[in-house]
Structure 1
């Protein structure tokens, strides 16, 4: 195993970040976990969380058995969509933006300073995940209190459970990280998340998991997915036998543009799901065939044993009859 001095600067940064995210004090153990996951920090963090929750690994290192593909199954690179805010139009909007800019700048700067000072004095309580399901349920309840019940179906479970269900069901998983303090969050929830077309699109084509980043569960997922701004969405799907983030959408976005981008990325990654379904059907078929063969073998074995038992009983009866006929 490499010593600390043999690590590159990038590996050292990942090592410290992994230790900070997981709270593991032993630096050697952190290095072993990262080495086992080829220094993929997202994979290592998620598997560590799964191990603590007793959930199976969703990032398996085993590769699927080679098969002859009938189509190009090479995955596309991860898509990252960063949406910038719309620039002001006309003199009125520019004037309004210029007037408010100093106030927004001072407000955001002071808020960041206060948060930084507070975290120096008191460690961030979000690092201790004690009730992940409760964090998700509270977010759903708060969302419905503010915006009503007209929203996509939220997955009521932990992030790890959502990943495992999406893997087992071979479905896309859409993750939404809710930032209470971001200025674009209320409008996004009201006009996009509650949009009827968006609701129908998400409910019919994927699982949907969401959580507030001010909660421990939402915070640790935000660290694992490395979000940059809000609103933040990540599309995850099984690819190369592991759950992989295939797209991130960051920043304000309209309902039509959101569904269009998600639809495009899903079409690009449909081949991996088709291959996974084919592999699973082949495994199920082979398993069923083996079970049928085992049942047939056992039935044949029982029939042979029954024949042997009958023959043995017949021989014993014949032997007893001869013994009775012999003179004493």
Structure 2
């Protein structure tokens, strides 16, 4: 079920009417039957066009539009067509611009079957061509996206056109048939559908030269051989136009023939893209023409549109330059941002490295402090143990005896040169000598031996049970301490 708002939008797109209230009234009068409303508008438009064609002076319609006027009107930002009042526009009459006489042009609504492949619009509404109100050529450039400021306010107007595969196939078939009949020297027909050719003309800032081929028409062969394929025409068309050709016996060529109201063949037209699914018809050439006659018409169109196309090209180049400049600035900003981010990552990595090193140094310091504390504690414990042993040994020795016949005088020399003397009972054991050394604060080792020099005798554990007399140390003895390896 299509909503009223969608029907209203479709109706506006098909008819070209901008007055929503008027479109709403028309649709309501037809019970919101979109096809019926469009058919009525088509019939009225065709009747209006026929009446205008009968009452208009054909000579005045062919007068050239002064190029100065075209450029002067190019920068217009008016939302209404210049030279067309509201009633004429709503009645779909084609009105020449009275203020600036010259090339008369028309807006043509393309068949939906043609546009659908280029714009992706809905199908199944009505496939028809329709003349809509006209105006001056200079204003049309603003509407179609070649004027200043276009492409910024309405993205749909500058949406890219997509080639229609069936249209492209027909174009290739037309070119192949044309070359079989007339040879390979001819205008450079686009091997693409009409919409893609139209997009190419927009991109190259050229007008689109359209040739509709009617094989059965008696004037077709002479026109193609003598005029269309003549060297002067081919060179001029290839240099100044994008060219598209279609066979009226094929689908797209037939639809374009209906849209352009081609009634006499051979038929040529010069068009340019307009808003939505419409094109602007700038010039049409019907019937047989000599190369000179065709060139005169085409040269006039080129001269009248040249200034505007040049201005549009310059403006587009400026837009591209500005866009490229913005892209370069964005790229430079992005590069600077990435460099800053890289430096920040390096700074963070360096900070993390320093933090890890500091943490590692702190860990080693704590381990060292703990090791030193353990060593100090162990040394203190050893010292305390030695002190306890010294006290125990001193207590075990008892009181030093006085000199007497049964008393032995013993001298002990330590590795540091210190000497100690004490008297012992001759009956005291060798073990008593070791207890005496241990009680002194002169030696901080546990393994040592007491040795005499002459004769050299080591009084080790095997002699601990001997008395001093039995060991031959009475009445006096001189011993030195020999520290043993751990």
**TM-score computed with the length of structure 1 as normaliser:** 0.62
Q: Is contact 2:111-2:255 (8 Å) kept?
A: no
Aligned 1:232-311 pairs, distance under 5 A: 232-238=267-273, 243-311=279-347
By how many angstroms is 1:17 displaced? 9.5
By how many angstroms is 1:240 displaced? 8.3
Distance 1:172-1:311 versus aligned 2 partners, 3 A rule? same
> What is the count of residue pairs matched by the alignment?
245
By how many angstroms is 1:155 displaced? 1.9
The residue that corresponds to 1:204 in the other structure is 239
Aligned 1:136-175 pairs, distance under 5 A: 136-175=171-210
Q: Is contact 2:142-2:148 (8 Å) kept?
A: no
By how many angstroms is 1:259 displaced? 0.7
> Is the partner of 1:2 in helix, strand or coil?
helix
By how many angstroms is 1:230 displaced? 1.2
Distance 1:152-1:44 versus aligned 2 partners, 3 A rule? closer
By how many angstroms is 1:312 displaced? 2.7
Distance in 1 separating the partners of 2:339 and 2:168: 54
Deviations 1:240-275 (A, max 9, x none): 898522111112211111111101111101123123
Distance 1:16-1:200 versus aligned 2 partners, 3 A rule? same
Equivalent of 1:195 in 230, 249, 262: 230
Q: Is contact 1:230-1:251 (8 Å) kept?
A: yes
Higher relative contact order (CA 8 A, sep 6+): 1
Kindly indicate whether residue 25 of structure 2 is the aligned counterpart of residue 2 of structure 1: yes
Equivalent of 2:249 in 214, 225, 242: 214
> Is the partner of 1:154 in helix, strand or coil?
coil
Distance 1:189-1:175 versus aligned 2 partners, 3 A rule? same
Q: Which runs of 5+ in 1 are unaligned?
A: 19-37, 68-128
> Is the partner of 2:233 in helix, strand or coil?
helix
The residue that corresponds to 1:32 in the other structure is none
Distance in 1 separating the partners of 2:314 and 2:274: 13
Q: Which runs of 5+ in 2 are unaligned?
A: 1-23, 31-35, 46-89, 93-105, 122-140, 150-163, 370-486
Q: Is contact 1:184-1:231 (8 Å) kept?
A: yes
Kindly indicate whether residue 339 of structure 2 is the aligned counterpart of residue 316 of structure 1: no
By how many angstroms is 1:308 displaced? 2.4
Distance in 2 separating the partners of 1:239 and 1:214: 26
The residue that corresponds to 1:35 in the other structure is none
Distance 1:139-1:12 versus aligned 2 partners, 3 A rule? closer
Distance in 1 separating the partners of 2:38 and 2:292: 40
**TM-score computed with the length of structure 2 as normaliser:** 0.44
The residue that corresponds to 1:21 in the other structure is none
Query: Alignment RMSD, CA only?
Result: 3.7
Q: Is contact 1:64-1:240 (8 Å) kept?
A: no
Distance in 1 separating the partners of 2:195 and 2:227: 26
More helix by share: 1
Q: Is contact 2:207-2:270 (8 Å) kept?
A: yes
Kindly indicate whether residue 262 of structure 2 is the aligned counterpart of residue 227 of structure 1: yes
